[in-house]
Amino acid sequence: MTSDELNAHIEDGTIDEEVRVAEARQMKTLSKIADVICGRPKLRLVLIAGGSSAGKTTTAKRIATQLRVNGRAALHLSTDDYFVGDARNPRDENGNLDYEHVECVDIAQLSADVNALMRGDVVKRRRFDFVAHAPIFTDEPVTLRKGGFVLLEGIHALNPRLTDGIDDSVKFRIFVEPKPSLDVFAGITPRPVDARFLRRLVRDNQFRKMSPVRTIEMWPSVLAGEKKWIEPFRGNADTEFDSYLSYELAVLKPYAGGLLERARLEMGERREIVNMIRLLSVVKTMSSVAVPGDSILRETIGGSQLEY
């Protein structure tokens, strides 16, 4: 699809059908992945990784739903909930907190909980407060029904250190990445990293009360951390899932546009800011009302019917 075609859908009122098709296409793919998982009797652990704002959490929840359609139990865990917090977080060579390091995760506790769940034991669910940057230890008991799957999702989920001691024969690995297909200029499509940046910009502001300037300042270290801690394990994935939606640029425009303009006022005509403003300028604004409650975009803009 081209940006002109997307704009035409928005103008003539046929965008709702495009939304339905785009969302159904993703669900069909996830259904096929769930069928593959259920078709391998030894599998017990589904590992879902990807870069920042790739859509990992919603992907995990939707796969869990598809597994339940097949009559199998599924329990979703996020590596984010096992972050150690700033007091224990590793630092980079400049002494700054390194939020991309694998040891941001309490690996020992995570491994213990995953193993316990796969044995059928009860564990207490752990959470993380992204505003206070501190772990939350709850008394909520969680367990996994016999024959079910543990779905472990997070940027480090494919790193073998997180599941060391668990036989590879019980693991199924998925790498999630938005792969834009929208032709915005003559033969030019946004890069996956552009799609993730716009999602991250909006999500940080919506849910973490972070200024756009702060997100932009952190982005280079995020990408450097991904190159070091995620890309080396991408090749181990059993499959990749494209989380991009053909209409998402139009939905994100009213959210990201204002944030980028605020950043330009404070940071000047930086190339990454100007490029993103230019990218958004080629599409018309679309209301978020048409976005389904379980869409991957709801992870970014809010209003999801899924529990995060």
Tens of pLDDT, residue by residue over 114-124, are 999 999 999 99
Specify the pLDDT at position 96. 85
Length of the chain: 308
Q: What is the mean pLDDT of residues 62-88?
A: 95
* Sign of CA pseudo-dihedral 153, 158, 163, 168: positive
Specify the pLDDT at position 189. 82
Confidence of residue 187 (pLDDT cuts 50, 70, 90): low
43-65 residues labelled b (16+ CB within 10 A) or e (exposed): bbbbbbbbbbbbbbbbbbbbbbb
CB distance 151 to 162 below 8 Å: no
Domains of the chain: 3-301 (3.40.50.300)
Instruction: For residues 186 and 202, give the distance between their C-alpha atoms in angstroms, rounded to a whole number.
Output: 27
User: CA of 16: how far to CAs of 208, 284, 301, in Å?
Assistant: 30, 15, 18
CB distance 10 to 284 below 8 Å: yes
Q: 149-153 and 134-142: which strand pairing?
A: unpaired
What percentage of residues in the chain have a pLDDT greater than 70? 99
Global pTM value: 0.94
Confidence of residue 186 (pLDDT cuts 50, 70, 90): low
Instruction: For residues 106 and 102, give the distance between their C-alpha atoms in angstroms, rounded to a whole number.
Output: 9
Q: What is the mean pLDDT of residues 217-228?
A: 93
Q: What is the mean pLDDT of residues 178-186?
A: 85
Q: What is the mean pLDDT of residues 193-213?
A: 95
Q: What is the mean pLDDT of residues 65-84?
A: 96
Q: What is the pLDDT of residues 269-301, one digit of tens each?
A: 999 999 999 999 999 999 999 999 999 999 999
Q: 134-142 and 123-129: which strand pairing?
A: antiparallel
* Sign of CA pseudo-dihedral 268, 272, 278, 281: negative
Specify the pLDDT at position 99. 87
CB distance 63 to 151 below 8 Å: yes
What percentage of residues in the chain have a pLDDT greater than 90? 89
Q: What's the chain's Rg over C-alpha atoms?
A: 20
Specify the pLDDT at position 97. 86
H helix and E strand count, the chain? 10, 7
Q: What is the mean pLDDT of residues 179-184?
A: 89
Question: 């391998």: which residue's tokens?
Answer: 40
Q: Is the confidence at residue 18, as pLDDT, over 70? A: yes
Confidence of residue 95 (pLDDT cuts 50, 70, 90): confident
Q: CA angle, corner 98, sides to 47 and 102, nearest 5?
A: 25
Alpha helices of the chain — where are they, by DSSP H?
3-12, 15-38, 56-69, 107-119, 192-207, 212-229, 231-234, 248-267, 271-281, 298-301
